[in-house]
């Protein structure tokens, strides 16, 4: 039996159609704005998200960083969920590089932050306070087990923010998972947000890249910040070509990943010592805990039986379904978990 890699949907390999498109990609120097394939990808991304414009960046981290730096100046404040990826996993780049002050507020288990809590965190105008400039949302929410934020919730946050002169950035690394799970167009899910970042390199299986989307003026400014952080690329059409194939062919199949994740979660719930509420799994991320065995020992034993998973600080374990993972791989993973849990003294 082969290795089942459930650490992340970032481990996906490009499809044969992507490799073919990369091989054939028409390219130019994007630093001079001359790569036709990058232009096509940026136009397609903006159109899929109902935004005026988009800029191709190297990663989700870069998309969020450039987005926040474009919204905020030094000493401005951004309101973030305390389970958000920008807060946990992006090296504090908005502070290090942008001098942006981070204000975390409580993330509910469904990935939202209560409107009252957000509103209370928005600062009044006072010479002693940083200026609240931005609120960041995350959809789907990674550390909240891939929960999808609804269009209604996002609209309410946008209304609240705009009512206070504050902008909204959406970390939509997995926005297409949310769209497929909620059966709405991604443009409806991001409506009203001032900027959105989404990743091609996760469930959509492209090898590299993310798009930062927003108004034409915002994206023009974002291009300067992309350049500042060294993100200007040259014949990037080679990788953009895979991104176009990702958007054109890899969105609908995300439903298979979600079905596999639900099946996985139900299987895990039936194993004594595994703590998970399977009915809460909406997309492709399955987060759980184990009892009776330390989480790191559990991970090691699983790895020894060919099943790779990832973890968050504090004993939260994660399995992510993706392109290349079939039902029989899930069965293999469940069997491995069963035998590890059955073997604990
Ligand atoms: N997430 C990765 C790890 O960093 C945890 C993963 O394996 O899930 N926003 C969200 C919500 C993300 O989940 C990620 C990546 C990013 C941004 C950053 O994207 P990259 O890895 O392209 O910089």
2-59, pLDDT tens digit by residue?
A: 999 999 999 999 999 999 999 999 999 999 999 999 999 999 999 999 999 999 999 9
Question: If you measure from the C-alpha of residue 174 to the centroid of ligand 1, how many angstroms do you get, rounded to a whole number?
Answer: 9
Question: If you measure from the C-alpha of residue 85 to the centroid of ligand 1, how many angstroms do you get, rounded to a whole number?
Answer: 7
Report how far apart, in Å, the C-alpha atoms of 26 and of each of 16, 34, 47, 107 are: 18, 10, 21, 44
Question: If you measure from the C-alpha of residue 272 to the centroid of ligand 1, how many angstroms do you get, rounded to a whole number?
Answer: 31
- Nearest CA owner, ligand 1 atom 13: 142
- Nearest CA owner, ligand 1 atom 7: 8
- Domain made up of 11-249: CATH architecture: 3-Layer(aba) Sandwich (3.40)
Q: pLDDT category, 314, cuts 50, 70, 90?
A: confident
Express as a percent the part of the chain with pLDDT over 90. 97
Using the predicted structure, report yes or no on whether residue 172 has a pLDDT greater than 90: yes
Q: What is the mean pLDDT of residues 254-258?
A: 98
Ligand 1 nearest-atom number relative to CA 84: 11
- Nearest CA owner, ligand 1 atom 5: 89
Ligand 1 nearest-atom number relative to CA 171: 9
Using the predicted structure, report yes or no on whether residue 345 has a pLDDT greater than 70: no
Which ranges in the chain are annotated with CATH 3.90.1150.10?
A: 253-342
- Domain made up of 253-342: CATH architecture: Alpha-Beta Complex (3.90)
Which ranges in the chain are annotated with CATH 3.40.640.10?
A: 11-249
Full-model pTM: 0.98
Ligand 1 nearest-atom number relative to CA 7: 7
Ligand 1 nearest-atom number relative to CA 210: 22
Ligand 1 nearest-atom number relative to CA 62: 23
Using the predicted structure, report yes or no on whether residue 313 has a pLDDT greater than 90: no
Question: If you measure from the C-alpha of residue 341 to the centroid of ligand 1, how many angstroms do you get, rounded to a whole number?
Answer: 29
Backbone dihedral angles phi then psi of residue 261, each to the nearest 5 degrees:
-65, -40
CB 112 within 8 A of CB 153: yes
Question: If you measure from the C-alpha of residue 8 to the centroid of ligand 1, how many angstroms do you get, rounded to a whole number?
Answer: 9
Question: If you measure from the C-alpha of residue 319 to the centroid of ligand 1, how many angstroms do you get, rounded to a whole number?
Answer: 14
């Amino acid at each position: 039996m082969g290795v089942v890699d459930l650490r992340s949907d970032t481990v996906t390999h490009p499809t044969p159609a992507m490799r073919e498109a990369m091989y054939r990609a028409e390219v130019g120097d994007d630093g001079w704005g001359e790569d036709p394939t990058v232009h096509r990808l940026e136009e397609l991304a903006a159109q899929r998200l109902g935004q005026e414009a988009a800029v191709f960046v190297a990663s989700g981290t870069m998309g969020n960083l450039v987005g926040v730096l474009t919204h905020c100046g030094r000493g401005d404040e951004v309101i973030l969920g305390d389970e958000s990826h920008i807060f946990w996993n992006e090296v504090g780049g908005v502070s290090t590089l942008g001098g942006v002050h981070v204000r975390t507020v409580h993330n509910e288990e469904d990935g939202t932050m209560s409107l009252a809590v957000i509103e209370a965190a928005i600062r009044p105008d006072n010479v002693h306070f940083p200026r609240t400039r931005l609120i960041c949302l995350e959809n789907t929410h990674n550390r909240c087990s891939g929960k999808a934020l609804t269009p209604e919730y996002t609209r309410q946050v946008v209304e609240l923010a705009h009512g206070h002169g504050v902008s909204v950035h959406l970390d939509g690394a997995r926005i297409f998972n949310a769209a497929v799970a909620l059966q709405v167009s991604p443009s409806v899910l991001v409506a009203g947000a001032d900027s959105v970042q989404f990743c091609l390199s996760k469930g959509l299986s492209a090898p590299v890249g993310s798009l930062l989307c927003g108004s034409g003026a915002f994206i023009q400014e974002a291009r300067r910040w992309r350049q500042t952080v060294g993100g200007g690329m040259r014949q990037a059409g080679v990788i953009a070509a895979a991104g176009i194939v990702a958007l054109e062919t890899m969105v609908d199949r995300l439903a298979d990943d979600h079905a596999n994740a639900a099946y996985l979660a139900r299987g895990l719930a039936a194993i004594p010592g595994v703590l998970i509420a399977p009915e809460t799994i909406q997309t492709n991320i399955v987060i759980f805990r184990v009892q009776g065995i330390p989480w790191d020992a559990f991970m090691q034993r699983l790895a020894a039986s060919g099943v790779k998973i990832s973890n968050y600080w504090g004993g939260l374990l994660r399995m992510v379904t993706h392109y290349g993972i079939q039902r029989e791989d899930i069965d293999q993973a469940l069997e491995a978990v069963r035998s590890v849990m059955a073997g604990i003294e």
